[in-house]
Structure 1
Amino acid sequence: MKINTYENRLLLVLFVCFGFVFFDRLALSFLFPFISAELDLNNSQLGMLSSTLALMWAISGATLGHYADKKESKKLILIVSVVAFTLFSALSGMVTSFITLLMFRALMGVAEGPVLPISQSLLAAASTPKRRGLNMGLVNASAPGLIGAVIAPPVLIWLATTYGWRSAFYATIVPGLLIAVLIVLFVRNKHVHEDIADEHANQPRTSYLSLLKNRNILLCVLISCFYISWFITLISFTPTFLMQVKGFSPETMGGIMGSLGLAWMAWGFIISALSDRLGRKPVLIFFSMIATLCPMVLLYVESASAMLPLVFLTYTGLGCFTLFMATIPAETVSATRVASALGLIMGVGELFGGFVTPTIAGFAADAYGLEIVMWIAAGGAVLATLLSCFLVETAPVKDQAAEEASLALMS
């Protein structure tokens, strides 16, 4: 089998897999207006539900990502993770109280944590250098954008309004199990692309402390903290904000969230592709600046028809996630440490941005109004932009350009 054939097949399977992770993860945000009415939940509890899942995702991603790097085959861990988060998502439909819902969301976070670091380490190893950024962007950003934020809102809201919110959780079990079967059939146990294997063949394994001594890894960890604050705050509170503050109907809310999903999908592809040509750092800085405007659009634009295109144009942050959470680290550390580095970046980022920030935002929203969560999200994007300015460029195209310039000077 040619490497490009397997590369494309792996890309497709992991695209669907990680996209469905976010279908399950974001389901709570889209269904919360329905759940809160039945279970009598408030914004603080919504923040705690999002935060608890993120906390367990963080711990699991860092520990199991590190564990996976010690194993020759990461395939079994990925399969078990997919089956487990699918079952816990479906069980969320059986809850009768806040505590039981919190428990199932926590268990789901444990199961989902290792999916991204393992998927991206497999993809980095199997990708040709000229497509590495694009491939990782499609899985890291376009997949959750399409499946989790474009397909999920209308499907989940339709199920909730037609059959009840519990049925929306139950329905997730079938596609989840089908994805596990696809991984069994089409993902290899071991594969390392030649350029990565040769480049890092003799590099020793290092500790988390050694990883943090690397400038790019440390910066990516910090960027992750603030960018995940931007993302989780927006995705957790925007559906409720649009219905309670803006007064939009569930259908209008679903349409706007779908526009966010389309932006997530489109910018995930565009930003990653541009970074393969223009470099990781300038692309990350430019589109992070644009991402700071998205919460302001949600806060100050009153017309739903005007909000739709504006949120699409400014919701660029998820396209940037691939760069600091996957591509830059994968091009910075050895191939045997990619899952560890990605798990560390995602884990610490989820701990701060996914656990601490939404909890604070939830209590702040109950105390000062939901408008404040948009300012919290914007602040996260601003800090991520500033930190991006200190990254060291890793794109192969930049290395090639530097080599050609050096040869030109020597000749």
Structure 2
Amino acid sequence: MSTLTPATGQGHSTRYENILLAVLCTSFGMVFWNRLALNYALPFVVADLRLNNAEAGLLVSALALSWAISGYVIGGLADRTGRRRALLVGLTLVFTFAGLASGLASSFGALMGMRLLMGAAQGPILPIAQAMMASESTPARRGLNMGLLQNLGSGLLAYIVAPVGVVAMAVAWGWRNALMASALPGLVLAAMIVLLVRRDPPQAAARAGLAPALRYIGERNIQLCLAATVLMVMWLMVQMTFLPGYMMSQLGFSPGEMALQLSLRGMSGLIGGIALPALSDRFGRRRVIITGAVLAAVSPLCAALPGQTFTTLALSGLIMGAGAGCLPLVMAIVPSETAPPAAAAAAMGLIMGFGELAGGFVAPVAVGLVADRLGPQAPFVMAGIAALLGAGLAYWLRDATTVRIHQPAA
């Protein structure tokens, strides 16, 4: 019987690297499925609980708030204790419970409480998972692995399968059963982590706590990645928030045409989210981020132009994957190559959390206020500008060839 040897221990096992990637990729895909399940079932929830628009918006944004805070706090705890595997299991069980309980909620307050709990449990999962993946990846595959982890499972499960699956379950069984059915796979995921992911090596706990993320906030790459993450999350969330309504109310698209446009963007994001990190392994992180962010500006800026048709909007939407590919690079890959392993989860949690808070929670509200004054095209102009600013920040990044890459200890 062969023994899988960790990259952080006595040697590297490509077999274990692939197993870990498959488990973590599936886990994060289901994290996003559960996060977005309420979004897809929201019309049914609003009608049943008689919610107003403000309450519906709070149910969506509250999760982003608790996600942002816990990503850094619990990511730091994972670094200090070295118990990343145990925390992943516990957090998976908590967000599964929150999903099941959401289906039992009989009031806005109860559902809000479960959304806050779900966000608190889900926020640390990606930084912890990316820290584990960075540690176990061979250097030539680090970008590819981390891009796959962040985009493959979430793209296939949360953005392609979940909209159809959740709505179909909500129509057939009711929104409560749809949310509960969406949560149940979390029990299987927790068992997969226990059975297939190795225990953290004992020396990780001894090293943990020596390099908290805040000690590395002065690093140029960490600062630039934090700012670029805010801008690129804003780029994404502004389009996700305002584009569906804009296509139907301003461009006259039918619901089916609008859904097809979003699906095209989802497929583009899935491809770009994998391809750009993989290309960065060959051509360098900095060069790929700059190119991707510039291309990312095309989609929203084209949407703001007058005279858009279904075809022209679809063509510009196919470029959206360039921005999706930038996100894992600035959120996880470059930070993991800048901070040491003992601070990697906290550093990524800080960057992802601040990006979620400022780019995903505050920016859509602020952009909406601007749109009320300047017109419905304003959000897309601002999203395009955000992507171009992200490209400008990336120019000052020091690439992995000029900063210390933290290789697994021999």
**TM-score category, normalised to shorter length:** 0.7 to 0.9
The structural deviation recorded for 1:148 is: 1.5
| Counterparts in 2 of 1:363 and 1:162: CA distance versus 1, 3 Å | farther
| Counterparts in 2 of 1:366 and 1:123: CA distance versus 1, 3 Å | same
The structural deviation recorded for 1:234 is: 2.4
CA contact (8 A) 2:131 2:345 kept: yes
Structure 1: how far apart are the matches of 2:358 and 2:237? 11
**1:4-83 aligned within 5 A:** 4-36=14-46, 39-42=50-53, 44-45=54-55, 47-83=57-93
CA contact (8 A) 1:160 1:166 kept: yes
1:221 to 221, 226, 246: 226
- 2:281 is the counterpart of 1:270: no
Correspondence for 1:232:
237
TM-score by length of 1: 0.85
1:22-54 C-alpha deviation (Å, 9 max, x unpaired):
112223333344544553432x55554343211
1:137-165 C-alpha deviation (Å, 9 max, x unpaired):
00112322222112222223333444444
Q: Which amino acid aligns with 1:64?
A: I
CA contact (8 A) 2:89 2:193 kept: yes
2:319 to 301, 313, 318: 313
Comparing 17-26 with 111-120, which one deviates more in the overlay?
Answer: 17-26
| Counterparts in 2 of 1:324 and 1:313: CA distance versus 1, 3 Å | same
| Counterparts in 2 of 1:133 and 1:12: CA distance versus 1, 3 Å | same
Identity of aligned residues (%): 38
1:389 to 379, 385, 395: 395
Correspondence for 1:254:
259
Gap regions ≥5 residues in structure 1? 400-411
The structural deviation recorded for 1:168 is: 2.9
2:216 to 198, 211, 214: 211
CA contact (8 A) 2:216 2:222 kept: yes
| Counterparts in 2 of 1:217 and 1:363: CA distance versus 1, 3 Å | same
Q: Which amino acid aligns with 1:29?
A: N
1:301-353 C-alpha deviation (Å, 9 max, x unpaired):
74445533431223321211111111111111211111111111111111211
Query: Secondary structure of 2:198's partner?
Result: coil
Query: Secondary structure of 2:81's partner?
Result: coil
The structural deviation recorded for 1:265 is: 1.3
CA contact (8 A) 1:50 1:355 kept: no
Q: Figure out how many residues of one structure are paired with residues of the other and give that number.
A: 392
CA RMSD of the aligned region, Å?
Answer: 3.0
Q: Which amino acid aligns with 2:366?
A: I
The structural deviation recorded for 1:90 is: 3.7
**1:112-191 aligned within 5 A:** 112-190=122-200
The structural deviation recorded for 1:293 is: 2.0
TM-score by length of 2: 0.85
1:104 to 106, 114, 139: 114
Q: Which amino acid aligns with 1:148?
A: A
The structural deviation recorded for 1:383 is: 2.1
Q: Which amino acid aligns with 2:349?
A: G
Gap regions ≥5 residues in structure 2? 5-12, 406-410
- 2:386 is the counterpart of 1:380: yes
CA contact (8 A) 1:159 1:165 kept: yes
The structural deviation recorded for 1:203 is: 11
